[in-house]
């Protein structure tokens, strides 16, 4: 029997979280070390997965399957393909970075890191599930740690509102998705939740067209689709730094990924029928999110609305239903996840030292926080789609795919890139350059060595992918081939 690497990746954070809750509260050093050890192990196993995956063969690999509730057609089934494996690697990277960024959390660190581990298990579980019930199970268990981490450790002025708003929106989406999942189960004629079997079920066209909006929108709400996006900036801004990194960097990808895996791949005729509406909504995402980010004076809200805008590009890639669009969407999910995790990490570093997120009250921070300035500029160049960075290799295929599907989408959505360039440059100038306010000069210092390590790691990944896209493109393309075979675009 081969080593169950996917189970190890998913269950390691769960086991670490349970161990943390059993430790005495005063053993704070051990709490941090165990959290770090778990995140390093998950990251190491994810890289092993990445190196071992055979892109030539493609398809689902590292499959694990055990009966769970066989009378109901439910199994513990795990596997990854070329589309989900980069998401596992992304989740591991952001988890590791989040642990380092949260190293100095002093308020109940035992519970903080335990809940972070539980959230990681939920995220990674969705990406590797090959059973619809199991996917929904992992999707739902994230609600509890997300809500608690926001209302207990979040920004005092908005954490109750942001946590409750996020939870209510995601519950609405979950109920829509659950109704759709039950419709798939009872109308497949198979009485199984096995995603591989459901891919071959051949649902009637009328059924697909009716039920696709339930399934797709139910999951896409977590992906930040317009007009159900407003939970995202409020939730991200209210959350503590590491949870903002996980929410924007990975959790929004969980929603988009589930919408693809369950909505588009199981109901391809429904996806084709509803794709014009998805393209329209996603285009609004891109332009509206960028425009609202442009006028924000709260440093963290800029990044919150920026995430809404960039997730619109992912949804445009999905709705294009062609090779280029899907390739771009897969690359954009990974690139944006790394980029926005770095953005939120740096915003947290600035807030921890300046004790304000008000952009007019900041300035000149490059003199005392040069690493933070460089990291933000690199992430900004990625956000702007600058050649030589991962954002360019991700966004360009999305626009190619959109042009083939509906040229008007590419023409309008490119406005979002222009606005993005404007607000990124304005924020860089206002926060990091110019004169430093007198009130900041005495209390702002440089970031820690752990923070520098996070900045270096995430920046290096975005630069490497910009110069060597072949590190990821063959992997994503192997996953796209399978999706195209299902949607009839091969």
pLDDT at 73: 86
> Per mean pLDDT, which of 150-154, 246-250, 336-340, 358-362 is the most reliable?
336-340
Helix segments in 355-487, DSSP class H: 370-383, 390-405, 407-427, 438-441, 449-467, 473-487
Q: Which comes out higher in pLDDT, residue 489 or 216?
A: 216
Please write the tens of the pLDDT for every residue from 398-417.
Answer: 999 999 988 998 999 989 88
Taking the alpha carbons of 173, 175, 179, 182 in that order, is the dihedral positive or negative?
Answer: positive
Q: Which comes out higher in pLDDT, residue 59 or 460?
A: 460
Tell me the percentage of the chain whose pLDDT exceeds 70.
99
**Nearest-angstrom CA–CA distance, 198 and 134:** 14
Instruction: Give the single-character DSSP code of 435.
Output: P
Nearest to 256 by CA among 328, 208, 312: 312
pLDDT at 339: 93
pLDDT at 95: 94
**Nearest-angstrom CA–CA distance, 201 and 198:** 5
Nearest to 341 by CA among 489, 461, 427: 461
First CA to last CA across the chain, in angstroms? 35
Does residue 481 register a pLDDT over 60?
yes
- Tell me the mean pLDDT in the region 130-134: 92
Pairing of strands 74-80, 61-69: antiparallel
482 by Cβ neighbours in 10 Å (0-12 / 13-18 / 19+) ranks as: middle
Instruction: Return the exposure string of 173-200: e unless at least 16 CB atoms fall within 10 Å of the residue's CB, then b.
Output: bbebbbebbebbbeebeeebbbbebbee
Residue whose token pair is 């930040």: 224
Please write the tens of the pLDDT for every residue from 216-267.
Answer: 998 988 888 888 888 878 887 888 888 888 888 888 899 899 999 999 999 9
Does residue 49 register a pLDDT over 60?
yes
**220 CA to centre of own chain:** 12
Does residue 1 register a pLDDT over 50?
no
204 by Cβ neighbours in 10 Å (0-12 / 13-18 / 19+) ranks as: exposed
- Tell me the mean pLDDT in the region 344-356: 88
Q: Are 332 and 314 in contact (CB under 8 A)?
A: yes
| H/E run at residue 74 | strand 74-80
Please write the tens of the pLDDT for every residue from 268-281.
Answer: 999 999 999 999 99
pLDDT at 248: 82
pLDDT at 212: 93
What SS3 state is found at 478? helix
pLDDT at 364: 85
Q: Which comes out higher in pLDDT, residue 132 or 189?
A: 132
Does residue 161 register a pLDDT over 70?
yes
Length reported for the chain: 490
- Tell me the mean pLDDT in the region 12-20: 93
Q: What share of the chain is helix, strand, coil (3-state, %, to 5)?
A: 75, 5, 20
pLDDT at 489: 43
**Nearest-angstrom CA–CA distance, 181 and 198:** 11
Does residue 443 register a pLDDT over 80?
no
54: left (phi over 0), alpha (psi -120 to 50) or beta: beta
pLDDT at 282: 93
**96 CA to centre of own chain:** 15
Does residue 16 register a pLDDT over 60?
yes
- Tell me the mean pLDDT in the region 296-308: 89
Instruction: Return the exposure string of 434-445: e unless at least 16 CB atoms fall within 10 Å of the residue's CB, then b.
Output: eebeeebeeebe
pTM over 0.85: yes
Helix 323-354 vs helix 390-405: crossing angle, to nearest 10: 140
Q: For residue 77, list its beta bridge partners.
A: 65
- Tell me the mean pLDDT in the region 355-383: 89
pLDDT at 169: 86
Does residue 125 register a pLDDT over 90?
yes
pLDDT at 50: 92
**Nearest-angstrom CA–CA distance, 171 and 165:** 10
**Nearest-angstrom CA–CA distance, 377 and 27:** 38
- Token output for 145: 């740690």
How confident is residue 44, by pLDDT bands cut at 50, 70 and 90? very high
**Nearest-angstrom CA–CA distance, 450 and 98:** 11
How confident is residue 392, by pLDDT bands cut at 50, 70 and 90? very high
Q: For residue 75, list its beta bridge partners.
A: 67
């Amino acid at each position: 029997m081969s080593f169950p690497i996917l189970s190890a990746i998913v269950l390691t954070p769960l086991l670490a979280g349970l161990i943390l809750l059993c430790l005495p509260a005063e053993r704070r050093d051990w709490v941090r070390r165990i959290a770090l050890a778990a995140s390093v192990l998950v990251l190491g196993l994810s890289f092993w997965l990445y190196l071992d995956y055979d892109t030539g063969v493609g398809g689902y690999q590292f499959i694990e399957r055990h009966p769970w509730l066989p009378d109901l057609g439910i199994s513990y089934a795990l596997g990854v393909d070329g589309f989900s494996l980069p998401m596992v690697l992304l989740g591991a990277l952001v988890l590791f970075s989040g642990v380092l960024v949260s190293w100095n959390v002093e308020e109940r660190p035992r519970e903080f890191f335990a809940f972070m581990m539980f959230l990681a298990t939920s995220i990674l579980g969705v990406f590797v599930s090959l059973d619809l019930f199991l996917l929904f199970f992992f999707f739902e268990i994230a609600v509890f740690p997300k809500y608690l981490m926001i209302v207990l450790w979040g920004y005092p002025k908005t954490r109750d509102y942001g946590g409750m708003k996020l939870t209510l929106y995601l519950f609405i989406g979950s109920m829509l998705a659950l109704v759709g999942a039950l419709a798939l189960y009872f109308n497949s004629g198979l009485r199984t939740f096995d995603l591989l079997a459901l891919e071959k079920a051949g649902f009637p066209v009328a059924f697909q067209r009716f039920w696709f909006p339930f399934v797709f929108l139910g999951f896409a709400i977590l992906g930040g689709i317009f007009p159900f996006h407003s939970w995202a900036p409020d939730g991200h801004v209210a959350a503590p730094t590491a949870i903002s990194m996980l929410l924007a960097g990975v959790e929004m990808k969980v929603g988009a990924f589930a919408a693809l895996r369950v909505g588009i791949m199981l109901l391809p005729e429904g996806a084709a029928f509803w794709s014009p509406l998805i393209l329209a909504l996603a285009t609004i995402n891109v332009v509206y999110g960028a425009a609202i980010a442009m006028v924000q004076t709260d440093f963290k809200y800029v990044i919150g609305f920026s995430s809404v805008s960039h997730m619109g590009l992912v949804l445009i890639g999905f709705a294009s239903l062609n090779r280029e669009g899907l390739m771009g969407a897969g690359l954009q999910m990974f690139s944006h996840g790394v980029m926005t995790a770095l953005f939120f990490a740096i915003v947290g570093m600035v807030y921890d030292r300046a004790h304000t997120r008000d952009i007019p009250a900041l300035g000149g921070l490059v003199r005392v926080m040069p690493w933070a300035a460089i990291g933000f500029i690199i992430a900004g160049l990625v956000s702007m789609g600058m050649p030589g960075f991962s954002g360019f290799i991700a966004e360009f295929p999305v626009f190619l795919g959109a042009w083939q599907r509906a040229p008007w989408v590419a023409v309008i959505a490119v406005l979002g890139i222009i606005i993005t360039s404007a607000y990124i440059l304005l924020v860089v100038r206002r926060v990091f350059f110019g004169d430093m306010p007198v009130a900041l000069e005495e209390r702002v210092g440089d970031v820690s060595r752990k923070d520098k390590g996070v900045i270096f790691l995430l920046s290096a990944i975005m630069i490497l992918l910009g110069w060597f896209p072949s590190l990821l493109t063959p992997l994503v393309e192997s996953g796209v081939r399978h999706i195209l075979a299902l949607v009839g675009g091969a």
